[in-house]
Amino acid sequence: MKSFVFILLTFFSITFSYSQEDLLDILEEETTKKVPSEIENSIFKGTRILNGHSVKNRKDKELEFIISHRFGRINLGFDELFGLDQSNIRFAFEYGLNDNITLGIGRSSYEKTYDSFIKYSLFHQKSGENSFPLAISLFGSVAVKTLKDYPPTDKRSFAESLSYVGQVLIARKINSGLSLQLTPTYIHRNTVKIAEDPHDIFALGFGSRVKLSNRVSFNSEYFHSFNESVSINARNSLAIGFDIETGGHVFQLILSNSITMIEKSFIAETTGNFFGGDIHFGFNISRTF
């Protein structure tokens, strides 16, 4: 009987010892297991911060229709209904060629301008394994002005009416309530008004998004130009506004000293003084299919 009890106790001791080792191995494996990479997709809600592009791209085979309005200056007073009697409008389509490439075309009533662009997500902000702290996209656009505001003796060719924009969009979601973006920008205009105006313009953009609720955020945007057109007394573009998400729509309400909605115009050709009352009320509304 004593031998049986001894054998039984020995068996249970060995079993417990192996079980304990197995449990420790499992715990060690769980603690050393790598967390899968997770892409941060909600740095900005829409493809625009306000006037300028954000790092966000359309998803694969996703089509977005965007209507943008900018009204006249608020300081025009009651006679012009604080700018609402005047209007500049842009219609545009954006299409996700895949999750990383977006193509877009648009037409603005301002200077009867047609524009097209491509935006490519170079890096995504990621957490977990192979984490990366920033989202980086490359943006390029070409625009052609078709308004015939030149003298008949100085008719522009198609090439002379072209302008080009290149941007690097660098963004980070700091936390659940704050996102920031830095946008180095290069603009080239084939034709300028006077010889003193630069053909090449370099600018740096700053953008932010502050989350107010699950569907509403406060956005701000500023572009500092390092060489400006002297013929029009150009000023830096400043905008503040709100993102309102409603299902398949992202609705943006905007106050800006820029009346235009494409990069070559609002960065290089803004003339209004925001703090002098030259503020344009506007909105962007988009529908995703």
Model confidence over 213-267: pLDDT tens digits?
988 999 999 999 998 888 888 899 999 999 998 876 778 999 999 999 999 999 9
DSSP state, 234?
Answer: -
pTM value? 0.82
> Each residue of 169-182: b (16+ CB within 10 Å) or e?
bbbbbeeeeebebe
pLDDT at 14: 41
Tens-digit pLDDT profile for residues 46-56: 899 999 999 99
pLDDT, the chain, mean? 85
Comparing 6-15, 99-108, 263-272, which segment has the lowest mean pLDDT?
Answer: 6-15
Q: Which of 238, 237, 239 is closest to 267 using CA atoms?
A: 237
Residue 37: what pLDDT? 73
Residue 13 clears pLDDT 80, i.e. is over it:
no
pLDDT per residue over 97-148, tens digit each?
A: 999 999 999 999 988 999 999 999 999 998 888 889 999 999 999 999 988 8
Q: How far apart are CA 280 and CA 27, in angstroms?
A: 61
pLDDT tens digits for 69-111?
A: 999 888 888 888 878 888 899 999 999 999 999 999 999 998 8
Which pLDDT score, from 0 to 100, does residue 15 have?
Answer: 41
The reported pLDDT for the residue numbered 35 is: 66
Tell me the per-residue pLDDT of 25-47, one tens digit each, with 9 for 90 and over: 655 655 556 667 788 888 998 89
38-288 in CATH: which number?
Answer: 2.40.160.40
- 128 backbone φψ class: left, alpha, beta (φ>0; ψ -120 to 50): left
The answer to whether the CB of 199 falls within 8 A of the CB of 187 is: no
pLDDT at 157 over 60: yes
Question: What DSSP line would sit under 164-210, residue for residue?
Answer: EEEEEEEEEEEETTEEEEEEEEEEEES--SSTTS-SEEEEEEEEEEE
